Structure 1
Amino acid sequence: MMTDFQSKGQQEPIAIIGIGCRFPGQLDTPAALWRFLQAGQTNVAEIPAGRFPLDTLYDSEPGRSGRMQTRWGAYFTPAELEAFDYGFFGIAPREAARLDPQQRLLLETSWQAVADAGLPVEQLAGSDTAVYAGLWADDFEARLFGDIDGLDLYATTGSGRYAAAGRLSYFFGWHGPSLTVDTACSSSLVAIHLACKALQAGECELALAGGVNLILQPQITVAYSQAGMMAPDGRCKFGDAAADGYVRSEGAGMVVLKRLSQAVTDGDRIYATILGSAVNNDGQSGKHFVTPGLEGQSRLLRQSW
């Protein structure tokens, strides 16, 4: 028997039933983040002392070799990054010392999202729940592998991006698809898109998806400064003639997804529904390899709707 969505040639909407998040400024719950957004606040501030040697790296003059053109960003404090209950997640101290803080944040926000959805963790063990984690930064891995004498198996599993989604599936005991997604800035959105498609295809009954980003090394910011991509004042000005770059930020967010019909049947609290999504590539429609093309962007919007 076909559903209304199938008879119309459409994909069933996906319900968001749980959210977990960590953002700078102690935005550690969906409610705190929502209040922050409603108030029109910003957590962009000067890069914390001790993160990078700003005195030697910063230069306001554009194009200076080996220098970054910005002092701004949304960064966690050292205390926020270092706080991690490794015992709670069944991780030994030696392994925890080699665990990318991004994987720590994924564990914490995933647990938070599942709890927020009101799902008993022990009852989900052994299920086909899927994981799609967006992650592209490899700063911790680069730092860890700089000490060749200190390398061991934990260094590879703790810092490798490939292991991020698998670690979540392992911790929860889930058997559904488990992928780490790296499409640069769109990684978390593509991860959610893939999760929606897996649910609609019947590959899983429940999915956890989202992403994480930390800025632990200055190299990417320096490289982007050389390309004129960093806003000197630390402000994004999307759609404005005064736009002069963007600002880098840290954070993590995960959502629990379920087919809308199932969520309604199960009586889940539904934050929102995803009516459609799509992924494409600009090909050569952009002026440069890293420049979005208007044609590709407009096509993507039509495809998603």
Structure 2
Amino acid sequence: MISLLVDYWRFIIGCISYLTHWFGVKCPSEARIEGKVVIITGSNRTLGKETALELARRGAGKIVLACRDLEAAKLVAQEIQSETGNLNIVPMYCDLSSFRLIKQFVDDFISTNDRLDILINNAGISNGSTQRKATIDGYEEHIQINHLGPLYLINLLKPLLIKSSISCPSRIIFVTSSAHRCMLRFNIDNLNSTSFYHPSICYCKSKLAAELISTHLAPKLIEKNVTINTLCPGGVYTDLFTRYPTVDRYSSILCPILQSLLRTPKMGSQTIVYCAVEPSLDSVTGKHFMDCRQTLASSLARDKNLAEKTYQLSINLIKKSVNQF
């Protein structure tokens, strides 16, 4: 009971920070990442794009824009190259809604790269659909794109992350959300939302699942000199909001209001950049960040038993659709 009250209080405080840009912060670290190879999923717009832009300024050896919209990614790559002078910006096709296409992306990446220092799982959806939508693999969209897809990507790239961690720990960064705190209970048997579906609950559930994966993997990966941390970028105005019917219907009224209340993508990217570059985080793993500071994820997200069950169930779901894991 006490833990629930604490989570409620943290959720209220988080909402205040989440819903106003006045709490926005600037990444306090001036560190550079000369020569490091970075993958950022969903980097053709908003948070991912701003993160790629800043990491390019900080000397990244290569930044792979792993995106479903390859043409948009090509334009963003040109924009970043022009603005920063860093020519090592590579757009690649990656669709987290298909395990086959995730494997294809990893095969293509490994064929031309012998190292990976930082993996930023940024891509995600919140589709707002009142009807449950399934991916080509048969899983509810939120849970595959926000959780199962990134987990599969981590496992396929894990050997390369470990190989690259000899001199300095490799990093996995998971962009989640304070929305994971909305889940006060977690029915793991309905992970795929087959018995009950609501878009907002599915979104929150997928973000909690990502937090639980970090909790489970952190102690195992650190043994291989790889860290994994999660973060909430705060309330950021992105096109995700227009996916909700009410917002879309009254966009001329609601969008300007949301833009005035929420953070810009540049503000939201600051904690992602911090987690990617800050030297003092070299050995920090299994933690949650917001506003460039370490904070506690919800008590559910830190439940090790639940984390192990979620991981094992997620692995089994993926194995039903793929031959290699």
TM over 0.5: no
Structure having greater relative contact order (Cα 8 Å, sep ≥ 6)? 1
Quick check: which has more Rg, 1 or 2? 1
TM-score under structure 1 length normalisation:
0.31
Q: Give the number of the structure whose residues are more often helix, by fraction.
A: 2
Give the TM-score of the pair, scaled to structure 2. Answer: 0.30
